[in-house]
Amino acid sequence: MARQVKQGEGWQLGWDADAEVFRGLVGGADWAIELTEAELEDFCRLIVQLAETLRQIGKELMDEERISCEVESDRLWLEAEGFPQSYSLRLLLLTGRRVEGAWSEAAVAELTQAAQMLRVF
């Protein structure tokens, strides 16, 4: 199957191997953006890296402490804000298209899990 889209409450993530330029897709409840293969690869890698970083930092924080953490590549930037176990996520695409998107706390865990399972590379 060359094309796949995974989606849940407030998120979507997709791959189309037959597309010429924009093979990836990320989106929220009411928005979506197509990504190049490299952009999607960065997104999947960075969202997992961010989740792991928050998990590690969470061991050092008190339960009521909120956190903000950023990761980036040449192509995109992600920011998590909230608690280590429950946070919102913001995306900025740093390439020529200049896109911004966000996911609620309720969507991030499933989106992160889907990014880990999306095997396209």
Residue 24 has a pLDDT of 95
Quick one: fold of 36-117? Transcriptional Co-activator pc4; Chain A (2.30.31)
57-61: list long-range contacts, CB under 8 Å, 24+ apart: 57/84, 58/83, 58/84, 58/85
pLDDT recorded at residue 57: 86
What pLDDT does residue 119 have?
Answer: 61
pLDDT of residue 76 exceeding 70, the answer is yes
pTM: 0.91
pLDDT, tens digit (0-9, with 9 covering 90-100), for 79-118:
999 988 899 999 999 988 889 999 999 999 999 999 998 7
Integer Cα distance of 33 and 25 in angstroms: 6
Under the banding of pLDDT at 50, 70 and 90, the label for residue 121 is very low
* 92: enclosing H helix or E strand: strand 86-93
- pLDDT tens by residue, 33-69: 999 999 999 999 999 999 999 988 888 878 788 889 9
Domain boundaries in the chain?
36-117
